[in-house]
Amino acid sequence: MDSAVDLTAFRNPERADRILKRLKNEITRPWVIMEMCGGQTHALMQSGIDQLLASQIEFIHGPGCPVCVTSLALVDEAIALAKLPNVILTTYGDMLRVPGSAGNLFAARAQGCDIRVVYAALDALKIARENPDKEVVFFGIGFETTAPANGISILQAYRTGIRNYSVLVSQVCVPPALEMILSSPQNRVQGFLAAGHVCAVMGTSEYIPISEKYHVPICVTGFEPIDLLAGIETVVRDLETGCWSVSNAYSRGVPTAGTAGALAIIHELFEPCDRDWRGIGIIPDSGWKLKDKYSAYDAEKKFGVTATETHESDVCIAGAILRGLKTPPECPAFAASCTPEHPLGAAMVSGEGTCSAYYRYRRNHDRA
């Protein structure tokens, strides 16, 4: 018997319609729910769930895209590293278009910098092996999901004695951002959909004290329509009954305790640090940095490159959008001077960004 999951069960219109009908019967007042992942945002809009429940649930879109929240300072540092002699800078494709203070990595590549797109950190390590006379830097962004894979590349370099490889670390963690949102005086969020891929690595235990402290239901979901609807229904039932809990509507992908092997790699390589989230600011203990044992692979320490002065767009309101305070159509540049072809902010650049989701699925704007 094939062990692959049959995803058609999670895209079943009849099953989705039954859940929607139950929701509409159960909801007695409007609720505000935040999905924490850009993949969830796009899935909600692609399937039309946000519109089908618009009269009863307001979906607020959290800062759930690592491309979007990677700090401007780190983007500027990546550009500065790429401009150093004898350096090959590697990163994911989306990062090449993210605006820095002056230009982006695409512009730096056009100026002659050796900047290469890779699909994983191990691809960057392979480039380092093949170019022993060059310094290869991997711009390693991501939430908890990418940390194990990024970490494996460092472990392999460490264990095999590769010294021309380093990582510009931009690992960020979801729970501190969630707590930042809930502790804000401006918070309107009443329940959360947690990201399934993050919890697949970390498990669900980190969310329990947050749920108990702020009395909010949190449900882990996947990215298919049925996954999302099941999570929404779970959160709504908690809200309607005045309860709060951490639940898992994505059990086929998320073990409660997380993934032991991935967690072992994280604990071996990384330790908590404060992290600057683009458009939001510094969130204490919301990131990971390399432990001293692996400092030789820390590009910031290795090259001493820091961004001392940064400049954001005067027009872009991505910070307020990432905090759930505004929506993209409230930005004067949205779908006008800011488009996926000519983005002013990271939330329009990323394939998982909120602004790109609104643009792609024509929410509250006319592209004609």
93, with CB counted inside 10 A (0-12, 13-18, 19+), is exposed
What is the residue type of 165? Y
pLDDT reported for residue 222: 92
Tokens describing residue 13: 């219109």
Tens-place pLDDT, residues 95-104: 999 988 888 9
**Percent with pLDDT over 70 in the chain:** 96
Fold adopted by 25-312: Rossmann fold (3.40.50)
Average pLDDT (252-267) is 95
For every residue of 71-100, DSSP letters joined together read -HHHHHHHHHHHTSTTEEEEE-GGGGGS--
Report pTM: 0.91
Mean pLDDT of 95-121: 94
- Rounded to an integer, what distance in angstroms lies between the CA atom of residue 14 and that of residue 224? 14
**How far, in Å, CA of 75 to CA of 155, rounded?**
24
Tens of pLDDT, residues 202-239: 999 999 999 999 999 999 999 999 999 999 999 999 99
pLDDT of residue 70: 92
User: Could you report the per-residue pLDDT of 321-343, keeping only the tens digit for each?
Assistant: 888 888 999 999 999 999 988 88
Tell me the domain boundaries of the chain: 25-312, 318-360
Name the amino acid, one letter, at 300. Answer: E
Determine the pLDDT at residue 43: 92
Answer positive or negative: Cα dihedral of 172, 173, 178, 179. negative
Reported as a single tens digit per residue, the pLDDT across 132-171 is: 999 999 999 999 999 999 999 999 999 999 999 999 999 9
Give the pLDDT confidence score for residue 102 in this predicted structure.
Answer: 84
* pLDDT greater than 70 at residue 319: yes
17-244-276 Cα angle (round to 5): 95
CB 181 within 8 A of CB 34: yes
pLDDT at 205: 95
Instruction: Say how far apart CA 315 and CA 361 lie, in whole Å.
Output: 23
| DSSP-derived 3-state class of residue 110 | helix
Residue 68, pLDDT score: 87
CA distance 254 to 196: 7
| Helix, coil or strand: residue 52 | helix
- Residue that wins the pLDDT comparison between 4 and 123: 123
Check: CB of residue 269 under 8 Å from CB of residue 151.
yes
Please report the pLDDT score of residue 312 as a whole number: 76
Q: What was the pLDDT predicted at 347?
A: 87
Alpha-helical (H) ranges within the chain are 13-26, 38-47, 49-52, 66-69, 72-82, 105-110, 121-130, 147-160, 174-183, 196-202, 208-214, 225-241, 260-269, 299-303, 318-322, 346-349, 354-360
pLDDT of residue 311: 79
